[in-house]
Every structure is written in structure tokens, then in C-alpha cells.
Amino acid sequence: MAEAVKDAVSQVAEGVKNLAVAGEQKAEQKAPKPKKEKKQKGGDSDGRPLMLDPVPEYIDHRVQIFEKLKAKYDEEVAQKPREKITVTLEDGKMLEGESWVTSPADIARGIAKSLFERTVIARLDKGTAEETLWDLERPLEKSCKLELLPFEHPEGKRVFWHSSAHILGEASERRFGCDLCIGPPIEDGFYYEMALPEKAAVEQSDYKPLETIVNSIVKEKQPFQRLSLSKDDLLEMFKSNPYKQHIIKDKIADGTSTTVYRNGPLIDLCRGPHVPHTGRVKQFKVMKNSASYFLGDANNDSLQRIYGVSFPDKDSMHEHLKFLEEAARRDHRKIGKEQELFFFHEASPGSCFFLPHGQIIYNTLQAFLREEYWNRGYQEVGSPNMFNSSLWKVSGHWQHYAEDMFTFDVEKEKWALKPMNCPGHCLIFKHRERSYRELPIRMADFGILHRNEASGALTGLTRVRRFQQDDTHIFCTQDQITEEISGLFDFLRAVYGKFGFTFKLKLSTRPEGFLGEIETWNKAEAKLTEALDQFTAGGGGAWELNPGDGAFYGPKIDITISDALKREFQCATIQLDFQLPNQFELEYMTSEVATAKSKDDKTKEEQPKAETQKDEKKEGDALTKKIPPPQPGYARPVMIHRAIYGSFERFIAILTEHFAGRWPFWLSPRQVMVIPVMPSANDYVKEVQAELRKQRIHADIDISGNTMQKKIRTAQLSLYNYIMVVGAEEQEKKAVNWRNRDDQASQQRGEVVPLDEAIKKLVQLRDERRIENHI
């Protein structure tokens, strides 16, 4: 079978996972309401039958082709020569097996029945070029290293949810008679995309019937069967499904083959692998549905997408639903509205309006980084928001990223809003001659960026069109890489520690389509490995290797943080880039030239520069151009791309949900609320507020006509860090009675302290950026 074909089909499935989801389903897409009939046995409350009877003709057509070709394949396997093979387990133990007979399931059952029952999938030859996931019941073909992965393993979970998507697909066909499109696993479950007859829409009333059909499929313990089919057989098998036809014709080369999987009456184009049988899915729930476009293109058919989640046991489902409930309570969109932090408007979709309280958080985060930049030798710069397309052609973004940029015409030339800062920083580096003595140059930029995200993909602050990053680029020599990376690890620790985040590091190495020389890559990866090892040795935790997943221009370190709900997010990244300095012909004077440079040398060195500039203009629209090497005595810098927050917008969303709106004092837009015991204390309330604001503490007052108890309760619900209650006694002593939001003992009766002492403690709490709200 052609691996390239399998990869192509996989890419289709992966590529549409993040497709734009359409807004509200149009009225004309909804299925016409059927006439009320007498309720049938096993049917819906509205009288509709649970499943179609008779079943759609295409189901029998597929099954006949599958059974005929499966019988032929089984005969071929029966003729395969049986040979002794060695299966090496994770602990190094070696077991003997027989090719085309022994399966991973046999190995697992031989060790313990319970091991087999909790194993979802096998992985063969981890860490080699032949690493692959393998169906448990599929016979092994040669000697291998074997891992048995449970549901808790990320790959096990993906396979489990992929198999569950197939079960949902079968239930959907049996209920709707629909044309299935794709059904991938996603971060929190899976979905299946489909076109219902007459462009009908899925209704919430379909959820329970679908779950009922799924339960019957699970009870049948339908085995998942794998079979390789030629392109011609696939076109015949799926001849009634225009969406499968498109994928087959577009992604599978003539004369090649790929795989399908069958469970019960469902046969689907799929790379696999899958769980042994449908009975493994003990718990299943339909979560939601929406409209979407085929292949994410608004010009294509509108489809229906049904989302679900599943687990191997009841406790896991219960735990997941509790998690979803807590996640909904912490949703940054909900808290953002309640706390008046931000909002969005249809006048500019994907562009956030930060309200005063939200902007306080934004500014505080930025001020924190500016302080760190000062201490760590960064230089802040500013660069234009829009550039002529010639810049993006030099950087390569025009060729590979233009669809994600906002482009427009200026004086008959193409321009674009910048989606990232790196090309502009290259121009800043290049605007004058640089010396080795200046390196490293640590260049920081909070510039506004724009990316043309699809409207259906916009999601609160986590997916926007207009945003700012804590973007920095370090220009250094190759000898400085290790030291600079180590400095970035320390930076990560300092920043994430202030928010209570833990983080993991993963080194992604040279991909197949890399640019540059292998020797350069090997040296760069060695330096990153050295820095990572130093980080681990210093108590920073182990790091993981992610072979072949680096950027095409250089290896990278991906940093994943874990929040209060133990969800993981990738915010930070550290990327080595050898290509952009080359594309922009960046160079610095080495020590060799700095020590002896004659006038004649200068004259010779100026000529290539003039030619380069001329070539740049001449080659402006070219996809590729020949780039001359650095002139004698000069060298290319290495460029390190680095972000810690990522985008401020997404980081604020993560922080909002991490803290559930209970902001630490230093970051809080509602630090203190001052409340009078009686109206005669209002003047002292204003005096206390003024003293607090002199120290740049965000203090509000409530001198409304509400009762004192209602004012206190309102402030508590607003999650003010401290509530100060003052009356005649406090005014006389120039003191405050304060209550700590996170100290329940202080809620009923606060502690009376002198005002100047209270202010001093609050300033210290803020300036130390402590995560705890205790003084």
C-alpha cells in the first residue's frame, strides 16, 4: 500500500478538524416538521421512527463490495509464509510470535486479561522511522518493539474517540440516511460531519435517539475490520456519496490504494487504527451540533456537524461532565461580561474592545514584561503596521501565508497588515552595519498584529483577528545560542511562576522538508539539547523529544503550560531560524574584520551590497532568488523567535479561566472597595480612596443609598480583593476595617488597622506580585 496515499487521506481528515463553523443554521436548512403520527415502538416522542426502515440502499452496496474483497484478502493472508518473530516489550522482555498470526491482543491476553481489556491500541517500534500505531487484533508481520497504550495515553484517547466517531457515523446513517463526510477525534471528544437528505438540520431532539442507537451498537460488540482498497474500488463503494467521491478523487492518486474500516453496516474511508470492537465504548454522549461547510469553504455545501464524547467507564464520564461544568463556570467570555473586562461587536468581528477594567489587566501584564525586559537587556522597538508586499515576498510569507493576511491596494501596489513582527525586525537589524560586539541584540515589540481568521473560527479572546504579542527576536552568533536559550528558560520560570503555572518543554527537530545544511541543523539541535539538559540538571524537570516536528527553517522548543483545571496550552515558543537572516541577507562584522579594515577593503565590500539591493528590487516578485553569501569577514546572525505570553488576548483568556475571575492583587482591576458604615462617613471614604490612588492602587467607593450589608455583598460578588469598611471610629483613628476576599474568617468582622499601615502592606503585596491574597 502506498504510504503517501495514506498520508494524503490523513491530511484531509486533520486539515478539516479546525474548519470554520457556520453561525446559526438557516431556517431553510431545517427539516420540515413531519405530520404527527401515532408513536411507534422504539421511536421518538413525536412519533418518528428511531431508525430508517428499510435501510438506505448504499449500505448493502458497500457491504457486498467489502465482503467480496475481504474474502479475497483473507485468502491472500492465508497463503503468507509463517515465520518466527520476536516481540520486545517496554520492559525489555522478549516474546516469540508468528508472523501473520500473533497479534498485539494475543500478547496482551497472554500477560493478563485485565491488561488486554484496558489497552486501546498498540504502538510499534517507537522512536524509529517505522514507528506506527497498530490495531490490537491485527496480526504482526515482522519482529518489532511493542507498546500497549491505554485510554489515558494521548494516542489511546485519540484512537478511542476516533472509533467512537465511527459509531456515531453508523448511528447517523441508520437514523437519517445521510451522506457522511469526515469524523475525526478532537481535543475534547470527536465529531462527525454529514449532509442530511434535503439539506435538513440536526435537532436537539435527535440527541437521545442517536444515543439509543449507539447503545445498541455498543451491545453488538461490532469488530472493527481493516481492508485496503484500490482507488477504483473506493469510487465504486462510495459512488452515492459526493463528498467521499471528492476526497477520493482529489487525494488518492490513480493506481494506488488506501484503507477503509468496517464496523457493522458502516464502512468508512479511514487510515485507522481503531479499538478492537464497539463494546469498548461503555459511555457515550452527544454534546452539541452545529452547521459547517464542506472542506471549510463557504462556497461549498453547508453540512451538519454532531459533536460527542465517550469513555471506557461511567466514572470517567461523570468526572468529565463535572469538569465541563467547572470549565463553563470559568469561561472567560462569561467572566469577561460579568466583570466588564471586554466585549466584541459585529462592526469589527474578532477585534476585542477592552473596557477600563480589562485594560488594567492588559497594561499590568505589559508593565510586568517591560520590567523584565529592562532587567534582562532587551531593547523595545516599534515597527509599522502595514508593509508593501515586496517585504512579504522576501520573507516567504506572501507565498505561504497570503490567505491569512489582510491585503489591500495602495497606489496600484499590494500591501498587507502585518501578521507577525519578524520581517520588520530584520529590517531594523539591517538598517545599518552591525558588529559582533553588539550581539546578542534582544529586540522586543508589542506591535499590533492582524490575521485573517475565518469568521466561524473566531472564539472569544482565544481566536481573534487583531491582537498583540510579547514578541521578541534575538539576533546572536551560533556560539551564543546555548547561553541565550538558558536565559529564556529562566525568563519562562520567572514569568509563569507569578501565575502559578507549571510548564513542560518539548524539542522538535528537523522535519522532512527542511531548508539549509544538515550540519547546521545538527549543530543547532545539539545546542538546544545542551540548554535543555542544563535546565533539567538545574531542577527544571525532564524534557521530551518530538522528532521531525520542527519548523522548516529551524528546530524549536514548544512550551506547554498547565492551568488550574490541568488543561494544557501552548503559549510560549522558542524557535531557531537560519533562513530569515539568509533571506534578508543579514550580516555582522566579525572580529576578523574589526581588527583590520582598510579603505580598499571598504570599497570592495560596498559593491556587493549595492548589487544585492539592486537584485532585491529586480527580484521582488520572484518566489526564489539566488542569495549571495556574506561578504568576506562577515557572518550571518542566528535569529531566535521567542514569545512567553503568546498573544495578550489569548493569555488573558487563559488567566481569566485559571483564576476563575479571582485575580491576584497585583493583577486585579478591582483591588479595594471602600464602604461607609453611615452617610456621615462618606467624606472619609473619599479621603481613603484618594490616599489609595496616590499609591496607584485601584480603589472604588460605594456611597450609594443601599444598606451597608448590601454594599458589602455586592463587593464580595464583584470579587474585590479587599473591602474596607469605615465609620466614625475608623475616621477618628484614621484607620480602616478591612476584609480579605480569600480569608473567610475576616468576612463577618474585619480587622481594624491604621490606614497608612494598610496602604504600606497593599503596596508591598502588589510590588512583590504575590499570587496569594494574604498580607
pLDDT in tens, 577-624: 888 998 899 999 998 765 545 444 444 444 444 333 444 444 344 345
All domains of the chain, ordered by start, with CATH?
80-150 (3.10.20.30), 154-322 (3.30.980.10), 343-384+418-592+628-655 (3.30.930.10), 662-768 (3.40.50.800)
Order of all β-strands in the sheet with 379-380: 379-380, 441-445, 471-476, 638-643, 568-577, 556-562, 502-508, 543-546
Confidence of residue 259 (pLDDT cuts 50, 70, 90): very high
Length of the chain: 775
The label of the residue with cell 537589524 reads 429
The label of the residue with cell 480589562 reads 358
More confident residue, 333 or 604: 333
Count of alpha carbons within 13 angstroms of residue 446, beta-carbon side:
15
Average pLDDT over every residue of 450-467: 90
**What are the distances in angstroms from CA 357 to CA 265, 441, 574, 663, 725?**
56, 35, 31, 12, 23
Confidence check: pLDDT of 540 > 90: no
Residues 74-91: pLDDT tens digits?
999 999 999 999 999 999
Average pLDDT over every residue of 686-699: 96
427: which 3 cell numbers? 529590517
- What b/e readout covers 138-173, taking b as 16+ CB neighbours within 10 angstroms? bbbeebbbbbbbbbebebbbbbbbbbbbbbbbbbbb
**What are the distances in angstroms from CA 718 to CA 495, 673, 700, 712?**
27, 10, 12, 10
pLDDT at 624: 53
* CA pair distance 722, 443, nearest whole angstrom: 39
Q: What is the separation, in whole angstroms, between the first and last Cα of the chain?
A: 67
Residues 27-60: pLDDT tens digits?
333 434 444 444 444 556 667 799 998 999 999 9
Secondary structure element (H or E) that encloses residue 394, with its range: helix 389-395
* CA pair distance 746, 742, nearest whole angstrom: 9
* CA pair distance 378, 444, nearest whole angstrom: 6
Helices 481-497 and 518-535, packing angle to 10 deg: 40
Count of alpha carbons within 13 angstroms of residue 80, beta-carbon side:
17
Strands 588-589, 434-435: pairing is parallel
Which residue from 482, 368, 499, 428 is spatially nearest to 771, judged by alpha carbons? 499
- Radius of gyration, alpha carbons of the chain: 31
Q: Omega into 440 within 30° of 0, i.e. cis? A: yes
Q: Which residues are catalytic?
A: 422, 451, 469, 471, 473, 556, 641
Confidence check: pLDDT of 262 > 70: yes
pLDDT at 458: 87
pLDDT at 696: 96
Confidence check: pLDDT of 396 > 70: yes
pLDDT at 284: 97
pLDDT at 621: 43
Strand extents, DSSP E, 74-167:
84-88, 94-98, 119-124, 132-134, 144-150
Stretch among 169-178, 426-435, 555-564, 731-740 having the lowest mean pLDDT = 555-564
Confidence check: pLDDT of 426 > 90: yes
Residues 145-156: pLDDT tens digits?
999 999 999 999
Percent of the chain with pLDDT over 90: 70
**3 state SS for 481-544:** HHHHHHHHHHHHHHHHHCCCCEEEEEEECCCCCCCCCHHHHHHHHHHHHHHHHHHHHHHHCCEE
Which residue from 620, 334, 582, 575 is spatially nearest to 474, judged by alpha carbons? 575
195: which 3 cell numbers? 449532509
Cβ neighbourhood burial of 550 (10 Å; 0-12, 13-18, 19+): buried
Instruction: Kindly report the number of other CB atoms within 10 A of residue 25's CB atom.
Output: 16
Amino acid at 717: L
CB 94 within 8 A of CB 107: no
**What are the distances in angstroms from CA 734 to CA 403, 699, 726, 764?**
63, 17, 9, 20
Cβ neighbourhood burial of 373 (10 Å; 0-12, 13-18, 19+): middle
Stretch among 373-382, 543-552, 611-620 having the lowest mean pLDDT = 611-620
DSSP-derived 3-state class of residue 17: coil
Stretch among 103-112, 324-333, 484-493, 562-571 having the lowest mean pLDDT = 562-571
pLDDT at 15: 41
Confidence of residue 698 (pLDDT cuts 50, 70, 90): very high
Average pLDDT over every residue of 105-112: 95
* CA pair distance 368, 364, nearest whole angstrom: 6
pLDDT at 1: 40
Stretch among 8-12, 344-348, 443-447 having the lowest mean pLDDT = 8-12
Which residue from 491, 439, 499, 501 is spatially nearest to 470, judged by alpha carbons? 491
Average pLDDT over every residue of 515-519: 80
CB 300 within 8 A of CB 293: yes
CB 85 within 8 A of CB 99: yes
More confident residue, 603 or 297: 297
pLDDT at 6: 43
CB 87 within 8 A of CB 98: no
Q: What is the average pLDDT value for the chain, to the nearest integer?
A: 88
* CA pair distance 583, 395, nearest whole angstrom: 6
As beta bridge partners, residue 738 has: 724, 751
Residues 221-254: pLDDT tens digits?
999 999 999 999 999 999 999 999 999 999 999 9
Which residue from 634, 650, 654, 498 is spatially nearest to 564, judged by alpha carbons? 654
Percent of the chain with pLDDT over 70: 89
442: which 3 cell numbers? 534582544
Cβ neighbourhood burial of 633 (10 Å; 0-12, 13-18, 19+): middle
Helix runs in 143-241, H state only = 154-176, 207-220, 231-237
Strand extents, DSSP E, 594-688:
634-635, 638-643, 672-676
Cβ neighbourhood burial of 235 (10 Å; 0-12, 13-18, 19+): middle
Stretch among 42-46, 201-205, 364-368, 410-414 having the lowest mean pLDDT = 42-46
* CA pair distance 601, 589, nearest whole angstrom: 13
pLDDT at 46: 63
742: which 3 cell numbers? 480569600
659: which 3 cell numbers? 483564576
pLDDT at 595: 53
Confidence check: pLDDT of 528 > 70: yes
